[in-house]
Each structure stands twice: as structure tokens, then as C-alpha cells.
Amino acid sequence: MKFKRSSQRSQNQDGPVRDFQPFRPAKTGRLRSGVGLLLVSAAGLVAACLVTACSQITQTLTVDFVYVASSKAAGANNYGEINVFEINSESGMMRQIPTSPFPSGGRDPVAEAVSADYGSLFVANQDDNSIVQFVIGTDGKLYPYNTVNTPGIFPLAMAANKSNLFIVDLYQPLPICSDADPCSGSIGVFPLSAGGSSSSAPCTATTCIGSPAVNSAVNGQYWPLTLSGAKAADIIVPTAVNVLASGTYVYVTAYDSSVTPHLGYVFGFSVGSGGVLTPLSGSPYAAGVQPSGIASDPTSTYVYVTDFASGNVRGYSAASGNLTPLAGSPFRAGSQPSAIVVDPSYPYAYVANSQDATIEAYSISNGALNFLGSSSSPTTYATGLQPVAMGIDPSTNHFLYTANFLGNNVSGFELSTTAGTLLVSQLSPYPSNDNPTAVAAIPHNGTGGGIQP
């Protein structure tokens, strides 16, 4: 924040009182000359401004736009809302853009994903079994463009890369599946392709959604998340999804709700042409009691899963796609960890603990998670009530934010790139619509280059 310098007092106020001097015509020339000099100086300043682009006038300090989905119904159509925040690059302060919020295009938005070119935001509306595609303007505004139905029933998690949009549904699309008679969940894939204005482009948006990939084993557009053998009839409840940066493998966290205590799993798939999935030979992999969130590192080497029930994070090596527990795993977290993110540029990971309303920070060494601070007294950072989703700004990887479901707000932090510690952003937390559930972000102007002219 910049402050104006207070105006200086005149010499007649600070110094000795001078005798009044009557006006003399002879000084008129000097006065006019002085005015001329002032005009010339002002013109020079304007010219210099045009040459140097006067950064304070022509540049914006907005480094990212953050999209926060709020699930509580609002407006005439009972649609959810998408709050759009801009992040200030100097203070980390988040503020909503003037036209925010925007309708989510459906009821109960629960998940978001951004296209690889940062031109589209995808929002999953659970009560409508729909995915709404918004085109993102250069000013961060959202423009509804396309709506598709999810392959299964009740979408709950989503991930995207350049080639595919992955959607996880609570139930398979079977006539017997409902809240009254639940069944196991499923994953579907929508291939993504480049669009544009040419006559050969499949759509006018920069990213186009294709028809869902087909699983020939079930003759349908979904892959069941089920166990085999004696547990084939158990109800598997999915919770989250993550696609590796390489795009080669995708993982879904889930738990067996038919047993007490529950048993957690990670279902792994290789991703083929057109988004067709093939279950990995070792899948599903054991994942504690009730996995809740999943993330991977930028090298596609490690995968991390939060266990909501056990209060820890399970780490895996993802060599050849198959998940192998890391030495020292599981790593301790707080109460009811709900989400995890790994910084794409720096060796740090962050876990949101929903019951504690805190974030825990970790350094990463050969995949292992190590607390910042001592192991007996790890460093934690307060958020709003019940953080359920978390993200890191994609432009600088320098700001972190959480969506706080019961707090009805968003917490913002500045991340130290050398120490991994967090500093609360100016005026955080920031009000949102009620019950925020998901976050996604794009760099300002979609370039990923930080402050943009």
C-alpha cells in the first residue's frame, strides 16, 4: 500500500515573517516565464511517462484470479455462486472483482478445475449431475459457455490437464443406485481439445469438451470403483481425484463404507488415447481408514493422501504408476485433514485440518514430509472454520488460500519461497458466499508470468 506524502508547509509559516512586498509589474515576465517552465516540465513528465510506461499507472498489481465455489443456494434459480477474487502481488490481499459473484449454472457446486490454457473454468454441480464450462475473460469474469451431464450420479471431484477432464461421481449410472439404495462410485473422462474461430475447430472456446470416453468392459462411459472377490458388493465411496503432471496416470481416493472401521483405498489408472482408462495391476492400494484429499508433486514421482479419520498423510512413490508407501509414511497431521497441496516450484507441502481450522506446513526431502518447526511442536497457521479446499497461486507459486466451509470465507497467506513458512495476507480472511467448497485459480492474463502490464 502506498501513502501520499503530506504537503510541506510554506516558508512563511516556518520561517520569520517577511514584510509584505507590493506587486511590481517588472516581475510579470518572470512569472510568465515560470509558468512556461512549469508547462514545459509537465509536458516533459508526460512524455517521460509515455516512454517509460509509468508502471504505477499502466500496470496492475493483480497477479492471479481465484475462483471459489459456494454450495449454498442463492439467487432466483437457487444456483450456487462463484466468487472471483484477485490477489494483490505486493500484499497478498484478496478482493472480489466488481461483478462477483457469478451463478454456478447449477445447484450445489462442489468441485472446480481449470483448463491447461487457463481459458476455461469447469464447475461440477452435484444436484444437477452437470459440469458447466465457463469462458474466462481477461478481466477474470465468467461467461457460461457449455453444459454437459456427468457419466455417473452426483459428481463430487474433478481434475483436468491439457488432454482430459476427469470427473468422479458418488454413484455409478445404474437404475438401482440412489441415496435410498447407494452403490459404489465411478470415474469418467471427457477428452479435451483445442478450439478457436476457424471453421475446423470443434467449438469457439479455446478448449472444447468432447464426448465421454467409453469403457468397453461395461459398455458405458464410466469406470466402476469396486473391489473384487468377497468384497465385490461393498459400497465404495470416492472422495478425491488427482492426475499426475505427466498425464500418464490418474488416482481416485475412496473408502469402503460397508465395514467398520472403514478401509481406505487409492484406485489407480493409466490414461490412454481418448481418455480411455486401464486399471493398474496393483490397484486399489491401501490408504488408511478414510482418505479425503490427494496431491502429487510436479515431477510425477510422489503422491500424497490425507486420511481424515486417522489424522495423517500417506506418502507413496509413483514409479511406473504403481503406488509404494514411502519410508516414514504415514506422516502426522492435525485433526480431520481434508485437503493437501504441493507447491509446483518449491519443496513444500501444506495440509488443511478441517477440525482444527489450521494449516500445517511441511518440507519435502526425497518424498518424505518433514514438519516446519520441531516434530513435537509443528508450525501451524490459523484459517477460518472448517477449511475444506486449498490452492496455490499458479502465477508465482507464492500465495496460498483456503475455502472455509463453516467460516463462509477465504483465508489468504503469503508463502516464503525460502523457508516454506506462511504469513497471513492483509485483511484475511475474506468474506465469500455461504459454504464455500472448492477453489481454482488462473494467472492474470493467463500467462503465468506474475504482474502483467
Is the CB of residue 158 less than 8 Å from the CB of residue 165? yes
How far is the C-alpha of 349 from the C-alpha of 329, rounded, in Å? Answer: 15
pLDDT band at 82 (very low <50, low <70, confident <90, very high): very high
Instruction: Judge residue 5's burial from the number of C-beta atoms within 10 Å of its C-beta, 0-12 exposed, 13-18 middle, 19 or more buried.
Output: exposed
pLDDT band at 52 (very low <50, low <70, confident <90, very high): very low
How far is the C-alpha of 139 from the C-alpha of 121, rounded, in Å? Answer: 14
Share of the chain above pLDDT 70, in %: 84
Give whole-number Cα distances, 137 to 113, 141, 202, 212, 445, in Å: 16, 5, 20, 27, 9
Q: Give the pLDDT score at 376.
A: 65
Burial track 58-68 (b if 16+ CB lie within 10 A, e otherwise): eeebbbbbbbb
How far is the C-alpha of 83 from the C-alpha of 97, rounded, in Å? Answer: 9
How far is the C-alpha of 256 from the C-alpha of 317, rounded, in Å? Answer: 23
What's the CATH number for 64-446?
2.130.10.10
Give the chain's mean pLDDT.
87
DSSP for 220-247 reads BS-EE----GGGTTS-EEEEEEEE-TTS
Residue ranges covered by each domain of the chain: 64-446
- The 3-state secondary structure of 273-304 reads HHHCEEECCCCCEECCCCEEEEEECCCCCEEE
Is the CB of residue 67 less than 8 Å from the CB of residue 84? yes
- Measured from the Cβ of residue 127, the count of other Cβ atoms closer than 10 Å reads 16
Look up residue 159 and give its three cell numbers.
Answer: 481434475
Is the CB of residue 203 less than 8 Å from the CB of residue 213? no
Indicate the pTM of the whole model: 0.85
- The 3-state secondary structure of 42-84 reads HHHHHHHHHHHCCHHHHCCCEEEEEEEEEEEEECCCCEEEEEE
Contacts of 39 (CB under 8 A, 6+ apart): none
Please state the φ and ψ torsions of residue 47, each to the nearest 5 degrees.
-60, -45
Indicate whether 359 pLDDT > 70. yes
Q: Cell match 506524502: residue?
A: 5
How far is the C-alpha of 94 from the C-alpha of 410, rounded, in Å? Answer: 9
Contacts of 136 (CB under 8 A, 6+ apart): 65, 118, 119, 120, 121, 142, 143, 442, 446
How far is the C-alpha of 68 from the C-alpha of 70, rounded, in Å? Answer: 6
Q: Give the pLDDT score at 75.
A: 64
Q: What is the mean pLDDT of residues 405-425?
A: 96
Over the stretch 117-166, which tens digit does the pLDDT of each residue have?
Answer: 999 999 999 999 999 999 999 999 999 999 999 999 999 999 999 999 99
Q: Give the pLDDT score at 72.
A: 85
Is the CB of residue 444 less than 8 Å from the CB of residue 65? yes
Is the CB of residue 262 less than 8 Å from the CB of residue 253? no
The secondary structure of residue 356, as a DSSP letter, is: T
Nearest to 171 by CA among 156, 159, 160, 158: 156
The single-letter code of the amino acid at 98 is: P
Sign of the Cα pseudo-torsion (186, 189, 190, 192, in order) = positive
The single-letter code of the amino acid at 85 is: F
Over the stretch 363-402, which tens digit does the pLDDT of each residue have?
Answer: 999 999 999 977 667 889 999 999 999 999 999 999 999 9
Q: Give the pLDDT score at 201.
A: 85
